[in-house]
Amino acid sequence: MLSSSRYGRCAEWFLRICAGLVLAGFAATALHGCSPASHPRGGGRDGGEDWRVAGDSDALWAARDTALPIPSPNPSQASVQSVRSASERPVALIAGEPLSWNELTPLLAEAAGGEVLAEVVLDRQARRELDSRGIEITADDVSRERAYLSQSIARSAGVSQSQAIELVAQIRRSRGLGDVRFEKLAERNAILRRLVRDEVIVDDAGVQQAFENRHGPKHVVRLIVVSTSNEAGRALDRLRGGQGSGPEPFGEVAGEVSIDPTKFRGGYLDPLSLADPTYPAALRQTISRLQPGEVSQPVAIEEGYAIVKLEKIEPPSGVSIEQARPGLEQEVRLVRERVLMDRLAGRLLESTNVTVFDRSLEWSWRARRQSPGQAR
């Protein structure tokens, strides 16, 4: 969606700059779980194909079905008791009744296990790649990633640093990034950034584009997004009064038919630059041909069909490119590093074979691979 709310735009920016965050995925085909459809053996114990690895035993299946750690072939009595004690230990009380990990684990695995497993895969593979190159990261590198996040959101949303920190906190809450996962994310980004750092080139063309995006003219537009061309035609008729009635206000039509979050503010997008690559090229080209007050024909975008109205064009900021150059160079570097980090993360995931034994986790892992929109 072309969300214009400050939170929505910041959430999109958050995902774009967090290459190590696997929430949105890198490639739907990149994660090779051991699924029934892909395993060469047949005749599974549940009536479908058997996706156990060669030589697995009933002990492995028991571990898979109960979400317990896979036991060794000859576990000692002490280790068995330790596993049982850990799995049966209460993690919460519900109206005074204990809730054990045995009951909770399969539910957690189905709800988010696939995403978390993908993050762990990337953690381990990125660390292996770092070690193979003889490179190290420091605590300062990880701290810098946290600073990059709030600074980038402050620039993107045009808010103060303190407001950006609060926006980060909101995004963390909405995406389940508690202290443990958030720290892992910062470390993962630090590793990926270090691995691609020497490949990045900051050139004048990149700085010029960043300058136009940040300090050039801004277009104030309203937006309607609908799913089909027929819906777009009907919306345009209402805007232009094509059925014998007078034209209807853009904001009212947007509020009734648009599927974009901008509907709640009359269709208004935040002022945008035609150099901003985060907006679809077709949409920017359409806006560039409009005069203030004009409404466009429907234009095809990923979400469906968009109709835009240009309200006004705001003048450049007046800042010279030389005054802005230090910040722009850092911005270009961070954006280009992010692109290379995404690509590296994708390659690491694609090259890793993952065998899932737990039934609930395997369901989540497979569902994640099959979900639309995973490629990123």
DSSP assignment, residue 352? -
Count of CB atoms situated within 10 Å of the CB of 151: 18
Give the range of the structural domain holding residue 185, as residue numbers without chain letter: 6-94+101-200+333-370
In this structure, the answer to whether residues 268 and 362 fall within a common structural domain is no
In this structure, the answer to whether residues 177 and 228 fall within a common structural domain is no
CATH number at residue 233: 3.10.50.40
Mind giving me the DSSP string for 132-143?
HTT----HHHHH
Distance CA 162, CA 175 (A): 20
Using alpha carbons, list the distances in angstroms from residue 373 to 29, 301, 342: 12, 15, 15
Determine what percent of the chain is predicted with pLDDT higher than 90: 58
Distance CA 293, CA 18 (A): 38
Which of 20-29, 253-262, 285-294, 325-334 has the least mean pLDDT?
20-29
pLDDT class for 151, splitting at 50, 70, 90? confident
In this structure, the answer to whether residues 148 and 190 fall within a common structural domain is yes
In this structure, the answer to whether residues 57 and 85 fall within a common structural domain is yes
Residue 28 has what pLDDT? 28
Instruction: Report which of 115, 107, 12, 174 is spatially closest to residue 371, judged by C-alpha positions.
Output: 115
How many domains would you assign to the chain?
2
Residue 61 lies in a domain: yes
In this structure, the answer to whether residues 49 and 75 fall within a common structural domain is yes
Instruction: Report which of 9, 21, 30, 4 is spatially closest to residue 368, judged by C-alpha positions.
Output: 30
Residue 1 lies in a domain: no
Whether 259 shows a pLDDT value over 50: the answer reads yes
In this structure, the answer to whether residues 56 and 145 fall within a common structural domain is yes
In this structure, the answer to whether residues 247 and 351 fall within a common structural domain is no
In this structure, the answer to whether residues 168 and 228 fall within a common structural domain is no
Residue 376 lies in a domain: no
Question: Residue 105 CA to chain centroid, in angstroms?
Answer: 25
Residue 209 lies in a domain: no
Which of 141-145, 212-216, 232-236, 367-371 has the least mean pLDDT?
367-371
Whether 57 shows a pLDDT value over 80: the answer reads no
In this structure, the answer to whether residues 225 and 337 fall within a common structural domain is no
Residue 182 lies in a domain: yes
Whether 12 shows a pLDDT value over 60: the answer reads no
Whether 55 shows a pLDDT value over 70: the answer reads no
pLDDT class for 238, splitting at 50, 70, 90? very high
pLDDT class for 78, splitting at 50, 70, 90? low
Residue 122 lies in a domain: yes
In this structure, the answer to whether residues 119 and 194 fall within a common structural domain is yes
Residue 322 lies in a domain: no
CB 273 within 8 A of CB 216: yes
Instruction: List Cβ<8 Å contacts ≥24 apart for 49-52.
Output: none
Count of CB atoms situated within 10 Å of the CB of 227: 12
> What is the arithmetic mean of pLDDT over 55-77?
44
Residue 151 lies in a domain: yes
> What is the arithmetic mean of pLDDT over 84-109?
86
Distance CA 342, CA 321 (A): 29
Residue 52 has what pLDDT? 31
Which of 77-91, 107-121, 170-184 has the least mean pLDDT?
77-91
Residue 349 has what pLDDT? 87
Per-residue model confidence as pLDDT tens digits over 120-140: 999 999 999 999 999 999 999
Whether 38 shows a pLDDT value over 80: the answer reads no
Residue 368 has what pLDDT? 84
Instruction: List Cβ<8 Å contacts ≥24 apart for 54-62.
Output: 56/357, 60/357, 61/357
Residue 96 has what pLDDT? 93
CB 224 within 8 A of CB 253: yes
Distance CA 89, CA 147 (A): 39
Top pLDDT among 136 and 47 is at: 136
**pTM of structure:** 0.67
Whether 35 shows a pLDDT value over 60: the answer reads no
Distance CA 272, CA 312 (A): 11
**3-state secondary structure string across 163-200:** HHHHHHHHHHHHCCCCHHHHHHHHHHHHHHHHHHHHHC
In this structure, the answer to whether residues 81 and 124 fall within a common structural domain is yes
| Vertex 257 angle, CA 255 and 263, to 5° | 35
In this structure, the answer to whether residues 278 and 188 fall within a common structural domain is no
